[in-house]
Amino acid sequence: MDGKQPKTTDGLMRHIRNNKDIKIKGSKQKRQLQNIGYFHGYKGYSFFQNKNSPLYFENFDEVVSLYDFDSNIKTLFYKHVMFAETAIKNRLLEIIHKQSGTELEKLFSEVLTDYKRYQVRTSKYKEKFKQTMKLRNDIYEKIHANFNSKSFINHFIYNDRSVPLYAVFELFTLGNLVFFTRCMNSTIKIQIITDLGLYHSSFDKNDRLIGDLIDCLKGLRNAIAHNGVLFDCRFKENNVGKQLTEYFNIQMNVKDIQFNRIVDYLAVIILISSSLGYNKTELRKIVKSFEIYLNELRQNLNVSTYDKIFGTDVRSKIREINEYINNFSW
């Protein structure tokens, strides 16, 4: 231990003022710093995506405004992301049940067969087969790990019945669901995308689409659920979204979706929500709320920092999202 005493709130204010050149003083800003925290609040919102890209603030009020924007976007997105997670699981379950019933062994012989599209003994076959066996082990490990704590699991075991897929799905995280969809055969993948109205004949990677979309939701969902920082998409994993830039251009006519700006995830939510039955009024309400929060922040943030966070094309993306809603029909 280095023996250093932690700074008081007044000491932290002096540090921000003297070493970070940000104006902060008075009881109001002291209370704001106490509420949002120095580490979680000030430090968490002092950079864009990584610590080598600091944000410029003139006054602590700007930090608080960015923090408030982040909180508002979490609240706005939360309901729709959680609904999407539940709905996609249930829509997928419905299709799988029609194909193979609820038994896990039939699932592995009739649905989780992506490896069979490759020639036996090839490296790709072995890789995909290994992934499927890992999924099998993960599923039975989840059943074992939750046997004592989850009544909807031990109910079947105590009654000498196999645990059905729909009970296993209750244990699945979005990460598990992504891995699950990667192991499904192409017929099931195309079926779920078609059922959701997301299939596009001009897109040549439709069989990857459901996994890629869930993968996009995963980081966003976890950041919201664990009160992580949202505004700069630092939750995004490096490999997420690369195949989807073309798809959003084709399907929504929204350009340059790279999943490195929070407006890109607005497009994801609108796309998935529209596929799950939201009407135009509901979709427009989401976009309008986003715009209100964006405009509020714009009034309280210097131009260079605003552009660095949102990009210079944020308004054009919102306009393209609204045009998608206007032209959308089931």
Provide the pLDDT confidence category of residue 328 given band limits of 50, 70 and 90: confident
Mean pLDDT of 24-48: 97
Mean pLDDT of 135-157: 95
In the predicted model, what is the mean pLDDT of the chain?
A: 95
Answer yes or no: is pLDDT of 9 > 90: yes
Residue with tokens 């994993």: 237
Tens digits of per-residue pLDDT, 37-86? 999 999 999 999 999 999 999 999 999 999 999 999 999 999 999 999 99
Q: In 3D, which of 306, 299, 199, 196 has the Cα closest to residue 251?
A: 199
Question: Which DSSP symbol is given to 160?
Answer: T
Q: Which sign, positive or negative, has the C-alpha torsion 193, 194, 198, 202? A: positive
Answer yes or no: is pLDDT of 123 > 50: yes
Mean pLDDT of 208-229: 95
What is residue 3's predicted lDDT score, i.e. its pLDDT? 61
Q: What is the 3-state secondary structure (H, E, C) of 49-105?
A: CCCCCECCCCEHHHHHHHHHHHHHHHHHHHHHHHHHHHHHHHHHHHHHHHHHCCCHH
Amino acid (one-letter) located at 188: I
Cα–Cα distances in angstroms (integers) from residue 157 to residues 101, 108, 139, 161, in the given order: 18, 20, 15, 6
Tens digits of per-residue pLDDT, 260-300? 999 999 999 999 999 999 999 999 999 999 999 999 999 99
Burial class (CB within 10 angstroms; exposed 0-12, middle 13-18, buried 19+) of 99: middle
d(CA 141, CA 182): 19
How many Cβ atoms sit within 10 Å of the Cβ of residue 131? 16
Global confidence as pTM: 0.94
Angle at 19 between CA 14 and CA 22, to 5 degrees: 75
Q: Which positions ≥6 away from 128 have C-beta within 8 Å?
A: 114, 115, 118, 183
Provide the pLDDT confidence category of residue 1 given band limits of 50, 70 and 90: very low
Answer yes or no: is pLDDT of 317 > 70: yes
Provide the pLDDT confidence category of residue 2 given band limits of 50, 70 and 90: low
d(CA 165, CA 97): 9
